[in-house]
Structure 1
């Protein structure tokens, strides 16, 4: 029960990697707050508090954190997982789809990290962990905006790591490879298989691969680790 007594916030917690992470922290004793754009009607887990928050909307984020303040008074660990993916070649990418990724992936990560840090500074302890992607390094065709947003959140974490260091708040990024989720299901499997085949460790990621690095970043013992990006699968 390594997270007993901790308050953990996971964005995009309704499904996919976010749901896996929320359940992981719950299983390890944490109180977990899940942000998702839609009501999480299926979430009946003990210790889990779902909140309808659109991370790309500043007013929605402000309301969500006001609820967190009132109900919990603090937050210890934040996982910035919420993201939007539209994979299309640049010349046919609709501007609206591009803006949707920018709002959710970059602005959302910024807003949640900023509001979380305001709570963390009271206890002088915090862990902010961004869920990045191999796309930021591999730069696959069709993912110009998505890859750019995932590269941007690593830079965002690195700058915030400097700003928040005096408050004992660390900021790091985990670049995951392909894992079987609804988001991945939007993409042609043969193309994903081809990308995976080119990795030094040519297999899909598992939940345990993700938990391993998240637990490292979130650990009490990782207070001297900040502004770092760890990619799975040998991506560099």
Structure 2
């Protein structure tokens, strides 16, 4: 690996990447936990349907926040490639590809959320509508976790790149790699052992901590004197 030499251009790219990362973290958490999450109860289809129909603006805002996150994610993937490509070109390209695959999958899964809304809106009075809507919401959750499989691989690669860059402390690379392990483990549990997933969910706090720390480190990247 080739260590990075600090430059003004590299510092600008790093700060812009940090800004996009911050937008991703805020919009993603806001969409999932602040807007959509309070409306959904996977154990009660009727209550979920009633909550969504009673708060259409809130449900649509969650989709909009996820869309902002997806746009920012695509930009971040490209910027991180531009920053770390001289460290290890093949690894940097691989990280960008896996990152962009995740972005496409998450953006595509937004259509499933729209399908949820359309079922509830246009099938009003249909007995099976709440159950069908809940199935779409569950499918969206699976689609999101499928995207995180690819992001988990990206995080592992980014951990290696950051570790070998010489520009950022190795601890941040270790944190990203740990986040990658958590993402891969959680997604595998979603698909193959969903009954264990609730026990594992607190581990996602490590991903928030690691990614927020990396985000702030990018934002604070200084130009050489």
TM normalised by structure 1 equals 0.31
- The structure with the larger Rg is 2
TM normalised by structure 2 equals 0.32
**Higher helix proportion (structure 1 or 2):** 2
**Higher strand proportion (structure 1 or 2):** 1
Of structures 1 and 2, the one scoring higher in RCO (CA 8 A, sep 6+) is: 2
